[in-house]
């Protein structure tokens, strides 16, 4: 059966549709990465190169890396206050330096709007950090069960999380386009008359087609993610991987209920995306087996996958139907759902992050198995008119 499998893979990979789709996907992905990495706030600075701006920010983050507590916050803000005090009367020098995003977002969360450091220094150039009203960490509503938080270069990881989630939609569109051809193209070309009358046409050929479809989808997924990670490593390296997600002052994920670091969050995001791709591939192949045109398959598949997103505005937030559709692939991968909603029962059924992840696994398993079983059964019993 290896020959059948290789034959089906060649049909997918050697087709012009695959080539053009991959080229389009790469253009979109590199565009997303350019926006997220090259144009990041962490890389901004008048007259300063992108790499120097990033190194400047990483140096500051490294200086204050460690256990997150009120004393650490005070140290960060004291350093940030000194920056403004040193530059009093020399605004040109301030604007020529890269933006200190590490300190900026900590100040944004720990100081009242009217007490921002720039305005305080403008009023009193000799102000000290002891005169600044700093909010306690307890005001951030961090879960009491979360202990020993570690703060690192959180902003670079925020850029990575945003990039990983941003490339997901282009990925699934590419996967749907490529897999929509697997069965429906042969019907459109009237090749099914020949294939389904061969010895393996109604059983083993169907299995090899399904295997080839999953192979192409997983190839696209891992290739895209490797590009994202390679680009991220080029810009930022992997420093800060062990920082607590609750110590992310940009994403404001303070209430996340599970002890987890940046690298683990990345794995969770990728795991959810992989589950989604398995389910989407299965559904697309099912629709392809029922349709007589790859174009129709593509449109119907996109509609089926996107439907839960369209229901967002129609369903009552927090209601049973609204919670069901939050588990669907078009909704469950977003940063907001994973980091702010999935650990609670306001938008999901369970007040437990890992149980909600488990529900996604069950939905993927059942949905994929039913779809593939239906594909196999339909192809086995398909009547050629």
Encode pLDDT of 75-127 as tens digits: 999 999 888 887 665 655 555 678 889 999 999 999 987 778 888 888 888 88
Give me the residue spans of the domains in the chain. Answer: 2-39+153-381, 48-151
For residue 206, the model assigns a pLDDT of 81
**pLDDT, tens digit, 9 for 90 and up, residues 99-108:** 889 999 999 9
What is the pLDDT averaged over residues 320-333?
87
Chain segment 360-374, per-residue pLDDT in tens: 999 999 999 999 999
221: exposed, middle or buried (C-beta count within 10 Å: 0-12, 13-18, 19+)? buried
Mean local confidence (pLDDT), 293-320: 85
**Is 0.85 topped by the overall pTM?**
yes
The answer, yes or no, to whether residue 383 has pLDDT greater than 50, is no
Per-residue pLDDT band at 186 (split at 50, 70, 90): low
At residue 385, the pLDDT reads: 45
Q: What's the whole-number mean pLDDT along residues 187-210?
A: 62
Give pLDDT, residue 197: 54
């Amino acid at each position: 059966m290896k020959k059948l499998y290789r034959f089906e893979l060649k049909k997918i990979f050697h087709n012009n549709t695959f080539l053009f789709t991959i080229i389009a996907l790469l253009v979109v992905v590199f565009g997303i990465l350019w926006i997220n990495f090259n144009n990041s706030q962490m890389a901004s600075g008048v007259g300063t190169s992108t790499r120097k701006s990033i190194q400047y920010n990483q140096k500051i983050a490294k200086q204050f890396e460690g256990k997150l507590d009120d004393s650490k916050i005070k140290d960060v803000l004291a350093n940030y206050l000194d920056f403004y005090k040193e530059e009093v009367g020399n605004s040109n020098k301030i604007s020529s330096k890269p933006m200190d995003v590490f300190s900026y977002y900590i100040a944004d969360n720990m100081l009242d709007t009217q007490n921002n450091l720039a305005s305080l220094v403008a009023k009193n150039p000799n102000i000290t950090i002891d005169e600044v009203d700093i909010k306690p960490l307890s005001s951030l509503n961090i879960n009491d069960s979360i202990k020993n938080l570690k703060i690192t270069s959180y902003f670079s990881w925020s850029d990575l999380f945003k990039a990983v989630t941003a490339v997901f939609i282009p990925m699934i569109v590419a996967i749907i386009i490529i897999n929509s051809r697997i069965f429906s193209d042969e019907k459109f070309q009237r090749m099914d008359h020949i294939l389904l009358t061969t010895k393996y046409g109604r059983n083993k050929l169907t299995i090899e087609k399904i295997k080839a479809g999953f192979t192409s989808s997983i190839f696209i997924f891992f290739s895209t993610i490797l590009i994202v990670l390679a680009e991220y490593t080029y810009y930022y390296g992997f420093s800060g991987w062990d920082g607590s997600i609750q110590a992310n002052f940009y994403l404001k994920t303070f209430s996340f209920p599970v002890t987890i670091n940046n690298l683990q969050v990345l794995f969770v995001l990728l795991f959810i995306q992989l589950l989604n791709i398995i389910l989407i591939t299965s559904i697309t192949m099912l629709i392809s087996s029922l349709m007589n045109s790859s174009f129709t398959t593509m449109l119907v598949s996109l509609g089926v996958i996107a439907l839960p997103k369209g229901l967002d505005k129609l369903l009552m937030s927090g209601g049973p139907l609204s919670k069901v559709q939050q588990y669907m692939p078009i909704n469950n991968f977003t940063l907001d759902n994973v980091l702010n909603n999935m650990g609670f029962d306001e938008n999901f059924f369970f007040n437990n992050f890992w149980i909600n992840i488990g529900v996604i696994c069950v939905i993927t398993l059942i949905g994929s198995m039913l779809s593939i079983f239906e594909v196999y059964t339909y192809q086995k019993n398909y009547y050629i008119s």
